[in-house]
Every structure is written in structure tokens, then in C-alpha cells.
């Protein structure tokens, strides 16, 4: 017996197609920007729905010329396509917590996962990330300034 698609499934698929098209054509840096662009196209979505869409589509934020923007896995302009998808999967499967103080970001992972996640962070070559250091379950990310640390931590949390 096949499952009938609900009408909202069609709306979601159309919305997802629109999101992918938007982020490939425009530099969309925040969920609010994306929400506003979707509204212009007739998609009224809540922040919770948009967060789920970003997660389900496995969108990541990348830095280009000091500006963050959403990017779909497999469309990598910075780093390889594999790094983008791999990074999302690592965040999803290994992140325990993330916080920042001053220009430092501390990421806690499950035991043994910090090194892999740290290598993935390094693979993106984010402009405002000066360096990383990994232990067994903790990563220290040194950023250019306090604002960059807050932005980086928020970006990772939003994934």
C-alpha cells in the first residue's frame, strides 16, 4: 500500500526547491534573511520550520570574503563538496556543546570525535578562524575577534 502524499509535502518540496535556488543565486547570511526572501516568494514560514528545513537540507554556512552565507552540500565554492556534507554529518553526530568567551570558541564532542571535527573545521579555511586545537573530546577555536567567535558559535549551533 502506498502512502498518499499530504498537501503539506508538496508545499515543503516547493519550499525546499525555492530555498536551494535562492541560496545558489543570492548571498543569504541569516535565517531572517532567508525567511524574508521566502516571504517574497509566497512562503510564510516560522523560524522553527525554517530551522528544520536548514537541518533537513543540510545547509551549511561558509565564509566568502569575510561574509557568511548559506550553501547546500555538494555546491562547494570553498572547500570540497565532500567536506561540506561531511562537516554537517560530523556536527550532527558529535557535537555535545559549544560556547565562546572573548575570541575563543570551545566545542565539546563525544569522546574521540574532536580530532575529526577539528579537521573538518580546518578544511573550510574560514577567514575569521585563526587556528584550532583538538583533544579527545574538546576543540579550541581561536578567532580573529570577539564578534567572530560569537558568529562562529552561533553558526555551528544553527546547523
34, 28 contact by CB (below 8 A): yes
CATH number of 81-158: 3.30.1360.40
Out of 3.40.50.300, 3.40.50.10300, 1.10.10.10, 3.30.420.40, which CATH number does the structure's domain 7-57 have? 1.10.10.10
Q: How far apart are CA 134 and CA 140, in angstroms?
A: 6
- 106 by DSSP, 3-state: which? strand
Residue 156 pLDDT > 70: yes
> Where are the CATH 3.30.1360.40 domain residues in the chain?
81-158
- Contact in structure between 106 and 114 (CB atoms under 8 Å): no
Which part of the chain has CATH 1.10.10.10?
A: 7-57
If phi over 0 gives left and psi between -120 and 50 gives alpha, with beta otherwise, what is residue 118? alpha
pLDDT tens by residue, 113-145: 888 888 888 877 778 899 999 999 999 999 999
Q: Please give the model's pTM, rounded to 2 decimal places.
A: 0.52
Q: Over the stretch 91-100, which tens digit does the pLDDT of each residue have?
A: 888 899 999 9
* CA–CA separation, 117 and 94 (whole Å): 8
Round to whole Å and give the CA distance between 34 and 53. Answer: 11
In this predicted structure, the answer to whether residue 10 has a pLDDT above a threshold of 60 is: no
Amino acid at each position: 500500500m502506498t502512502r498518499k502524499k499530504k498537501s503539506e509535502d508538496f508545499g515543503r518540496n516547493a519550499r525546499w526547491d525555492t530555498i536551494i535556488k535562492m541560496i545558489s543565486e543570492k548571498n543569504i547570511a541569516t535565517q531572517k534573511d532567508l525567511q524574508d526572501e521566502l516571504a517574497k516568494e509566497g512562503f510564510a514560514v516560522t523560524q522553527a520550520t525554517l530551522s528544520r528545513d536548514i537541518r533537513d537540507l543540510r545547509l551549511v554556512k561558509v565564509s566568502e570574503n569575510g561574509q557568511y552565507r548559506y550553501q547546500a552540500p555538494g555546491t562547494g565554492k570553498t572547500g570540497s563538496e565532500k567536506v561540506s556534507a561531511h562537516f554537517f554529518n560530523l556536527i550532527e553526530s558529535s557535537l555535545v556543546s559549544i560556547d565562546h568567551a572573548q575570541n575563543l570558541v570551545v566545542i565539546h564532542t563525544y569522546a574521540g570525535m574532536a580530532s575529526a571535527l577539528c579537521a573538518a573545521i580546518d578544511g573550510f579555511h574560514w577567514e575569521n578562524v585563526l587556528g584550532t586545537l583538538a583533544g579527545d573530546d574538546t576543540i579550541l577555536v581561536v578567532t580573529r575577534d570577539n564578534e567572530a567567535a560569537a558568529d562562529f558559535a552561533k553558526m555551528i549551533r544553527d546547523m
